């Protein structure tokens, strides 16, 4: 009778050390490490479009907001989770760690058939616990469809779909911008 090898449980520090030396990006979920796959052209165009619109609104402003695309980790629940959001907006000047952020106000994940379940369930559960987060977008890379959650003034998450002709107003402190379906899917061919 053969025994299955035991799964290696990484500490947060083990993960951060591994990630600093790794040639590939890995997400960290409560002691487990998961390699991230590469992305296709549609995914990259969508990420670029969202990044462009958010970054354009932050340029030259003294509001302390920074926009990150794909390579900045989001640290959640004191290091229990580390994800690489496709796009993340942070408007808290005290959130100044070099390799991760903890106080995003906006996160967008661009979904593929292989990531949709994780983005809609596991990541949403973790992201929804971030006190500073006000917007979570799930952007489909196979069709023009954006589902999003927005935290209202009472702190309750409201679910919605971004419809054609509708504008999503994004406000984080002094930061203000807007996104439409056309902004998100500019130059994306289905």
Q: What is the pLDDT of residues 54-91, one digit of tens each?
A: 999 998 877 789 999 999 999 999 999 999 999 999 99
How much is the pLDDT for 1?
45
How much is the pLDDT for 181?
97
List of domains in the chain:
39-184 (3.90.1570.10)
**Looking at residues 165-186, what average pLDDT do you find?**
96
Return the C-alpha torsion angle 88, 92, 93, 97, nearest 10.
-50
**Looking at residues 101-119, what average pLDDT do you find?**
94
Token pair belonging to 45 = 């165009």
Nearest to residue 33, comparing CAs of 48, 14, 52?
14
In three-state secondary structure terms, 53 is: helix
Q: Which residues lie below 8 Å from residue 68, measured CB to CB, with a gap of 6+?
A: 85, 87, 88, 89, 90, 101
Cα→Cα distances 73→81, 171, 174, Å = 10, 22, 24
pTM: 0.92
**Looking at residues 40-46, what average pLDDT do you find?**
95
Long-range contacts of 60-64 (CB under 8 A, 24+ apart): 61/174, 61/175, 63/91, 63/173, 63/174, 63/175, 64/91, 64/92, 64/93
* Average pLDDT of the residues of the chain: 93
**Looking at residues 127-155, what average pLDDT do you find?**
97
With pLDDT > 70 as the criterion, what percentage of the chain qualifies?
Answer: 95
Q: How many CB atoms lie within 10 A of CB 180?
A: 17
Q: Give the span between the Cα atoms of 187 and 25, in whole angstroms.
A: 27
Residue 96 pLDDT grade (very low, low, confident, very high; cuts 50, 70, 90): very high
Res 122 pLDDT > 90: yes
**Looking at residues 81-104, what average pLDDT do you find?**
96
């Amino acid at each position: 009778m053969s025994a299955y090898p035991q799964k290696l449980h990484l500490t947060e520090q083990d993960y951060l050390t591994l990630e600093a030396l790794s040639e590939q990006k890995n997400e960290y979920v409560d002691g487990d490490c998961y390699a991230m796959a590469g992305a296709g052209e549609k995914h990259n165009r969508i990420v670029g479009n969202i990044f462009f619109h958010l970054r354009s609104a932050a340029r030259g402003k003294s509001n302390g907001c920074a926009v990150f695309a794909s390579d900045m980790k989001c640290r959640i629940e004191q290091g229990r989770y580390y994800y690489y959001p496709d796009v993340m907006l942070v408007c808290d000047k005290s959130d100044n760690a070099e390799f991760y952020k903890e106080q995003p106000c906006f996160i967008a994940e661009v979904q593929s058939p292989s990531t949709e379940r994780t983005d809609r369930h596991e990541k949403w559960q973790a992201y929804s616990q971030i006190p500073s987060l006000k917007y979570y977008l799930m952007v489909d890379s196979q069709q023009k469809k954006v589902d999003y959650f927005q935290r209202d003034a009472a702190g309750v998450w409201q679910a919605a779909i971004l419809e054609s002709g509708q504008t999503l107003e994004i406000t984080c402190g002094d930061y203000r911008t807007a996104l439409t379906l056309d902004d998100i899917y500019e130059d994306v061919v289905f």
